[in-house]
């Protein structure tokens, strides 16, 4: 039988061990909550953002989420990364004093596809800030102490990433196109995303087993 000190050290190591950047202690809870948020955003994007459109051309632009945010004026402002601010985030959003104008800041040094991704990521963060259902869900996680606050913040950010992926690469279209071609570069060009992004999405959509 381990003595008390050894047991404490083992428990500490288990809490500090991570998988995909998530402490093992919270791994199952974190990814279970993430799956719930993915399901929520899957329905939101398919029904509320894309629902009224019969045909959506690919690659998908910003207009659909901008239409969804009807009533808000959206401005995009690029900034440059240099030796002074090279550790700056790719982007962020700010609501002006009129509460109707959303300014999305993005790294103008990146390629157009990355800029589009950043703009969408920030717009989904803005959507989170005005989505009562989402806010109530996050409040419940915090009140029930399901995750430490830093992991709740990570969960919110990852949920925005997942929403962007579902927006740019809808599951039905990913499956359809992957049945037409197995060329990763061709698929990436069709959706105007990186090869890494399409590979990960192919796995999420059950089109490849490993990535």
Query: Can you tell me the distance from the alpha carbon of 128 to that of 44, in angstroms, rounded to the nearest whole number?
Result: 12
Q: What is the pLDDT of residue 19?
A: 78
Q: What is the pLDDT of residue 86?
A: 54
pTM of the predicted protein model: 0.88
Q: What is the pLDDT of residue 13?
A: 47
Query: Can you tell me the distance from the alpha carbon of 24 to that of 43, in angstroms, rounded to the nearest whole number?
Result: 30
Cβ contact 208:199 at 8 Å? yes
Spans of all domains in the chain: 23-168
Q: What is the pLDDT of residue 88?
A: 56
Query: Can you tell me the distance from the alpha carbon of 32 to that of 35, in angstroms, rounded to the nearest whole number?
Result: 5
**pLDDT digit string (tens) for 169-203?**
999 999 999 999 999 999 999 999 999 999 999 99
Phi and psi at 100, nearest 5°, equal -125, -10
- SS3 per residue for the chain: CCCHHHHHHHHHHHHHCEECCEEHHHHHHHHHHHHHHHHHHHHHHHHHHCCCCCCCCCCCCCHHHHHHCCCCEEEEEEECCCCCCCCCCCEEEEECCCCCEEEEEEECCCCHHHHHHHHHHHHHHHHHHHCHHHHHHHHHHHHCCCCCHHHHHHHHHHHHHHHHHHHHCCHHHHHHHHHHCCCHHHHHHHHCCCHHHHHHHHHHCCCCCCC
Cβ contact 199:118 at 8 Å? no
CATH number of 23-168: 1.10.10.2910
Residue showing tokens 């700056």: 88
Comparing CA positions, the residue from 77, 14, 65 lying closest to residue 41 is 65
Comparing CA positions, the residue from 132, 161, 164, 151 lying closest to residue 49 is 164
Residue showing tokens 């963060």: 125
How open is the CA angle 7-8-10, to the nearest 5 degrees? 65
Question: Do the strands 73-79 and 101-107 form a parallel or antiparallel pair, or are they unpaired?
Answer: parallel
Q: What is the pLDDT of residue 11?
A: 46
- List of the chain residues with pLDDT < 70: 1-16, 82-88, 210-211
Terminal-residue alpha carbon distance, the chain = 41
């Amino acid at each position: 039988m381990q003595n008390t000190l050894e047991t404490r050290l083992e428990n500490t190591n288990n809490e500090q061990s991570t998988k995909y950047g998530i402490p093992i202690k919270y791994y199952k809870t974190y990814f279970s909550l993430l799956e719930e948020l993915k399901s929520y955003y899957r329905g939101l994007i398919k029904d509320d953002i894309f629902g009224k459109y019969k045909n959506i051309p690919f690659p998908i632009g910003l207009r659909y989420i901008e239409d969804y945010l009807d009533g808000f004026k959206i401005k995009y402002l690029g900034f440059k990364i240099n030796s002074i601010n090279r550790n700056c985030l790719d982007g962020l959003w700010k609501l002006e004093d009129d509460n109707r104008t959303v300014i999305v800041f993005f790294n103008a040094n990146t390629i157009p596809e990355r800029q589009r991704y950043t703009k969408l990521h920030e717009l989904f963060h803005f959507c989170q800030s005005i989505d009562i259902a989402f806010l109530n869900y996050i409040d419940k996680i915090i009140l029930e102490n399901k995750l430490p606050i830093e992991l709740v913040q990570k969960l919110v950010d990852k949920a925005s990433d997942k929403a962007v992926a579902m927006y740019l690469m809808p599951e039905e279209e990913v499956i359809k196109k992957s049945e037409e071609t197995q060329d990763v570069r061709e698929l990436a060009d069709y959706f105007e995303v990186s090869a890494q992004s399409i590979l990960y999405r192919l796995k999420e959509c059950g089109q490849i087993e490993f990535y």
